[in-house]
């Protein structure tokens, strides 16, 4: 279910980075220049399951699109993806009895292969598969949608004797210059500027039998997916820390001991878990404060003094100094800069 916690610093598996690399190579483009631009080297990644900053991966996505001059580049990356979580989910789906059972598995465990999104499946006169953000205050990237629908579109036709194809795709984004590439990929009409990102299938396929159905394997794989899901929840220490920080900030600057008490772990254990996720209490605190500060400033919902209080600063001067150290601008300069930029865009 969607959460209120913002995932700005959340991570994803490095398998997506390798997939982008392979897709660029397929187009004859050297990915090393793009990765170097973002201070990333493939040799520094031990394998596809290592965690990488989602924010960094989003930047790489954008650079790859610019290099290929292809807005639909993320749809092509799906063909180059090698990920153990996706393989496990696909194996489980292929072992299901029918499409109805497969859809339940897909909805329940898709979050294992996507860090910031999940699938909501609604059965009406159609099967509606909608991509949603895991976080109420975080918008989806187009790549989150394209990779989700790309995976579904790629593997659905292989499940049954009768080829399963979508009847309609609606996308919550501006209409691109080249719409035909999307319709060619999905093999159906694609509507842009829609309210939701949804892929539609006929409800007539619900009871279609899956040709590789295997009840025993299905049971084993579902136990495995459930176990992996539990591990994922337990590993999100950074997210837990951020959630507690948001609660404690109005009471003053939180200490590591305060967090450990709230999370029912020792200070040393908490430090160890954060280190394993390649982060620290200090960096999470700074990121959380900056994220909230920018949100409050741009929405103009509180005075500088009130914002300072909400972020745990005893004096507004301390907040202003903190903001400038991390942003290079004072809060007022930041707001003015954003306003001027927005005005230029509107002209």
Q: Say how far apart CA 108 and CA 111 lie, in whole Å.
A: 8
Residues 93 and 123 grouped into a single domain: yes
Range of the domain at 87: 11-229
Residues 70 and 49 grouped into a single domain: yes
Do residues 258 and 246 lie in contact, with contact meaning Cβ atoms separated by under 8 Å? no
Nearest to 142, CA basis, from 58, 232, 28, 49 = 58
% the chain with pLDDT above 70:
89
Among the candidates 179, 209, 229, a domain finishes at 229
pLDDT digits (tens, 9 = 90+) for 289-326: 998 899 889 888 788 999 998 898 889 999 999 999 99
Selected residue with higher pLDDT from 331 and 4: 331
- Triad 58, 64, 66: Cα angle to 5°: 110
Residues 220 and 292 grouped into a single domain: no
Q: Say how far apart CA 49 and CA 25 lie, in whole Å.
A: 21
Q: Is the pLDDT of residue 21 over 90?
A: yes
pLDDT at 5: 37
Q: What CATH number does the domain containing 40 carry?
A: 3.90.1520.10
Residues 171 and 277 grouped into a single domain: no
Residues 269 and 326 grouped into a single domain: yes
Q: Report the number of distinct structural domains present in the chain.
A: 2
Do residues 98 and 28 lie in contact, with contact meaning Cβ atoms separated by under 8 Å? no
pLDDT at 11: 67
Write 113-116 long-range contacts (CB < 8 A, 24+). 113/83, 113/85, 113/86, 113/89, 113/151, 114/12, 114/144, 114/147, 114/148, 115/7, 115/10, 115/11, 115/12, 115/54, 116/7, 116/10, 116/12, 116/54, 116/140, 116/141, 116/144
Of the candidate ranges 127-141, 181-195, 235-249, the one whose mean pLDDT is the lowest:
235-249
Q: What CATH number does the domain containing 278 carry?
A: 1.10.10.60
- Triad 209, 149, 14: Cα angle to 5°: 110
φ, ψ for residue 12 (rounded to 5)? -135, 170
Rounded to whole angstroms, the maximal C-alpha distance in the chain is: 69
Residues 247 and 120 grouped into a single domain: no
pLDDT at 279: 85
What's the token pair of residue 79?
């063909």
Residues 122 and 222 grouped into a single domain: yes
Do residues 105 and 89 lie in contact, with contact meaning Cβ atoms separated by under 8 Å? yes
Q: Say how far apart CA 263 and CA 281 lie, in whole Å.
A: 13
Residues 27 and 117 grouped into a single domain: yes
Q: Is the pLDDT of residue 258 over 90?
A: no
Among the candidates 229, 255, 270, a domain finishes at 229
Do residues 6 and 291 lie in contact, with contact meaning Cβ atoms separated by under 8 Å? yes
Residues 191 and 325 grouped into a single domain: no
Residue 103 lies in a domain: yes
Q: How confident is residue 4, by pLDDT bands cut at 50, 70 and 90? A: very low
Among the candidates 229, 247, 262, a domain finishes at 229
Of the candidate ranges 43-52, 74-83, 184-193, 205-214, the one whose mean pLDDT is the lowest:
43-52
pLDDT at 18: 92
Q: Say how far apart CA 302 and CA 65 lie, in whole Å.
A: 38
What's the token pair of residue 223?
């136990």
Residues 27 and 174 grouped into a single domain: yes
pLDDT at 1: 35
Residue 2 lies in a domain: no
Of the candidate ranges 88-92, 166-170, 227-231, 321-325, the one whose mean pLDDT is the lowest:
227-231
Residues 259 and 201 grouped into a single domain: no
pLDDT at 6: 37
Q: How confident is residue 177, by pLDDT bands cut at 50, 70 and 90? A: confident
Q: Is the pLDDT of residue 137 over 60?
A: no
Q: How confident is residue 3, by pLDDT bands cut at 50, 70 and 90? A: very low
Average confidence (pLDDT) over 125-135: 90
Residue 81 lies in a domain: yes
pLDDT digits (tens, 9 = 90+) for 46-60: 655 677 777 788 889
Entry pTM: 0.67
Do residues 9 and 284 lie in contact, with contact meaning Cβ atoms separated by under 8 Å? yes
Residues 223 and 251 grouped into a single domain: no
Q: How many CB atoms lie within 10 A of CB 276?
A: 11
Selected residue with higher pLDDT from 10 and 145: 145
* Cα R_g (the chain), whole angstroms: 22
Q: Is 100 exposed, middle or buried (0-12, 13-18, 19+ CB in 10 A)?
A: middle
Selected residue with higher pLDDT from 199 and 9: 199
pLDDT at 330: 94
Selected residue with higher pLDDT from 231 and 133: 133
Of the candidate ranges 33-37, 179-183, 236-240, 282-286, the one whose mean pLDDT is the lowest:
236-240
- The mean of the pLDDT values for the chain is 86
pLDDT at 46: 60
pLDDT at 295: 85
What's the token pair of residue 316?
């507004």
120-134, 218-232, 300-314 — most confident range? 120-134
Q: Say how far apart CA 107 and CA 196 lie, in whole Å.
A: 17
Residue 5 lies in a domain: no
Average confidence (pLDDT) over 323-335: 93
């Amino acid at each position: 279910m969607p959460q209120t916690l913002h995932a700005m610093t959340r991570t994803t598996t490095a398998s997506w980075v390798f997939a982008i690399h392979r897709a660029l190579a397929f187009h004859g483009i050297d990915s090393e220049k793009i990765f170097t631009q973002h201070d990333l080297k493939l040799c520094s990644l031990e394998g596809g399951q290592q965690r990488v900053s989602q924010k960094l991966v989003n930047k790489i996505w954008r650079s790859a699109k610019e290099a290929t001059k292809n807005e639909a580049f993320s749809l092509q990356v799906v063909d180059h993806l090698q990920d153990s979580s996706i393989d496990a989910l696909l194996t489980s789906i292929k072992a299901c009895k029918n499409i109805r059972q497969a859809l339940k598995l897909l909805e329940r465990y898709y979050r294992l292969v996507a860090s910031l999104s999940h699938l909501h499946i609604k059965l009406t006169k159609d099967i509606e598969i909608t991509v949603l953000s895991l976080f109420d205050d975080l918008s989806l990237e187009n790549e989150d949608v394209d990779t989700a629908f790309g995976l579904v579109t790629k593997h659905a036709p292989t499940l049954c004797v009768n080829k399963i194809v979508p009847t309609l795709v609606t996308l919550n984004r501006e209409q691109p210059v080249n719409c035909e590439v999307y319709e060619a990929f999905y093999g159906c009409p694609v509507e842009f500027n829609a309210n939701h990102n949804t892929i539609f299938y006929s409800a007539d396929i619900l009871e279609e039998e899956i040709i590789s159905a295997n009840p025993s394997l299905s049971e084993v794989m579902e136990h495995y997916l459930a176990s992996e899901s539990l591990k994922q929840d337990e590993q999100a220490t950074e997210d837990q820390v951020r959630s507690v920080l948001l609660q404690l900030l109005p009471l003053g600057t939180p200490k590591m001991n305060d967090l450990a008490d709230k999370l029912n772990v020792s200070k040393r254990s908490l430090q160890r878990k954060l280190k394993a996720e390649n982060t620290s209490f200090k960096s999470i605190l700074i990121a959380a404060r900056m994220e909230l500060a920018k949100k409050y400033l741009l929405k103009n919902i509180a005075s500088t003094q009130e914002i300072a209080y909400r972020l745990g600063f005893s004096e507004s001067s301390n907040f202003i100094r903190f903001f400038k150290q991390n942003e290079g601008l004072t809060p007022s300069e930041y707001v003015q800069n954003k306003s001027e930029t927005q005005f230029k865009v509107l002209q």
